[in-house]
Structure 1
Amino acid sequence: MYELQVEGMTCGGCANSVTRSVRAVDSNAKVDVDLKAKKVRIDTSVPLEKVSSAIADAGYPVVASATL
């Protein structure tokens, strides 16, 4: 499981975009977006770099990450 600090998320549409970008690399990923804290928790077996890259490619910079 990863916890990412993601900038640029301001609304439910942003949360949906981030979720879709993660699920594009792992359709079974569990994604929990906390807009207020700008954090995204992801339960996936895909490497962190691939998940972070997918989110960044969707237009949301990943500024910090941790493996939980």
Structure 2
Amino acid sequence: MTFHHLAPGETRVMLQMEFAAEGAVEKAGDALNVVERRIKGDLKRFKEFVEAQGGETGAWRGEVGQDPTS
């Protein structure tokens, strides 16, 4: 996930995710776009949460790096 500053008070959040369906249930869910819809819903809820805060929460300000195992 990356955050791109566009303007004061405006940021674009981009998510890149790889998913390989395994097994019949996951493959069926993938064919029905269940994963894509779930991700879009989660991102929408994240956007609503962030916008509802109205400002910084004072929470952790560190950085998340790449997973060294990937």
Greater strand share, 1 or 2? Answer: 1
Q: TM-score, normalised by structure 2?
A: 0.30
Greater helix share, 1 or 2? Answer: 2
Larger Cα Rg: Structure 1 or Structure 2? Answer: 2
Q: RCO higher in 1 or 2 (8 Å CA, sep ≥ 6)? A: 1
